[in-house]
Structure 1
Amino acid sequence: MKYFKFSYIAILVFLSQILFGQTLSSNLSNTTLALGEVGEYKLKIDNLQAKDVVAAPKNELLPFHFEVVSDSISKQQNEYFRVVKFQVFEEGTFKIPALDIKIGDQIQKTIPYEIEVINTAKKDDVINDIMKNKQVDLGIKDYWELYKFYILAALVVIGIIFLIVYYIKYGRKVKGSPKVLTNQTLKDLDRLKKKNYIQNGNYRMYYVELIDITREFLTKQYKIPANVLLTDDLIDYMKGSNIISEQNEKVIEEIFQRGDLVKFAKTIPNSDMMEKDFNDIKTMVQRSTKDVEAEQLRTMN
């Protein structure tokens, strides 16, 4: 009776594996290949039941000796099929080890393979030319066809070098001139205006972006570390350096201090105040070129 019961359970387990388990199989097209010959490694999972399959990424399934030609993966609800075409360019015996394939929560292994790669060419083989070499006289056109790509490449390199030298000598000066920086900042302020923060009452984002634009401008126009200094430290730095006029200095101090209060929710500005601060910063930016020109004259003297 016990034997019958054990046999019954074993049969049930066996049937459940057949009916509900996943079947992993692999196949190798040939265990002997010539150098550079294309071989195929196939991987198949039946009765997948829509489970996830985790294997090596595409083009990385086989060891590094195998040069992958193509790696195609097809996955349906009950079947996973992968075909890897490969070549080997070294003589010898190479192994495809047992690969771990995760199916759902279970890990299954493939069958390991060995592949022998041989050189089909013989050492004593003689390679004969089909016809004897002929001496051909080349003209200017022929030399141009032979070397035109090298000549064009050399001209491109010379052109790039010329552009780099020109940019270093002239380009950076023009781009970094006070007027160019002023115009760029005015464009940034116009973009801020178009976001309608004032009309929507979004005063916090308005002051955050207004002060960020101003800090970036001060850093580039006046060459002061405005983008890393706290408000109080920046004000002390400006007063100690005398780079910025008192008029512009006063505008920056008032608006930056108000901006800090707004960011920490200690004050709520009205729309008139926000408009005034915007116009004051814009005017300060426009006046800045005079500060820079005065500093340049002072340095020269």
Structure 2
Amino acid sequence: MKKIFFILFAFLGLTANSQTLGTQLDKKTLALGEAGVFRISISNLQGKDVISAPKNELLPFHFEEIADSISKQPDMYTRIIEFAVFEEGNFTIPALDFRIGGKLYHTIPYEVEVINTAQKGDEINDIMKNKEVKLEVTDYWQLYKWYILGLLILLALIFIIYQIVKYGKRRKSSPVVMTNQTLKDLDNLKKKKFIENGDYRSFYVELLDISRNFITKQYKIPADVLLTDDLIDVLKTNNAISPKNEKVVEEIFLRGDLVKFAKTFPDQTTMSADFNEIKTFVKSSAKDLEAEQLRTGV
């Protein structure tokens, strides 16, 4: 008899010192998106720590947690999770792990059925009938003004870019720009000291190439492909160059051809004079052409 009382006393003492883990699910059948409540409580805590999954991460994937609140007192722990499921079917809340004072405990699992309460063929009635509204011009303006303004800005940008490109091309092809570029080419030729070294053939080859390129771009005459005699005929026919400059070009080009074929051997004085004559011709061309453009209105 004493043995029975001892066992009963020991059991009551063990029960009095143990924690009670309990769970409660308010609904086991939910409509799509309907909120359910899952409650976990631990009594007789005796100030022990409770460790579980972090907030909003306790329930499985399909359970969308709306709220997760935890309340802990020295002798009581409560966690209330509000959730919803947005798929039809049967879903399980598995046994969840809670570590109390270093000892692991498990909750009991639950089955949750989620149903779609809407039925096929259900008629959906509007609260009130649609009302036709007549729009005025100002209404259309309010609706589409930003599209119109955006289109106008885009067209303005295209026009500005076109003008900038057009102006840039015009500047690059202007007589002054071509003149300055040719003068730079002549200066580079002089720096090679062909005149001082008596290298008359190299001098006239480059001088004529520079001159032909200049006439081609400045006067729009194909001097780069025409033979010297044909080029002189073209210059005399279209009167693009003044008679004085025609004579300069004719004399220097003919002399350059003779030099290239070793039929004449000019001295330094002649080469210097020809260089200066071409340079003067290049400098005067820009003024002549711009004056002609102003006269004709081009």
Normalised to the residue count of structure 1, the TM-score between the two structures is 0.45
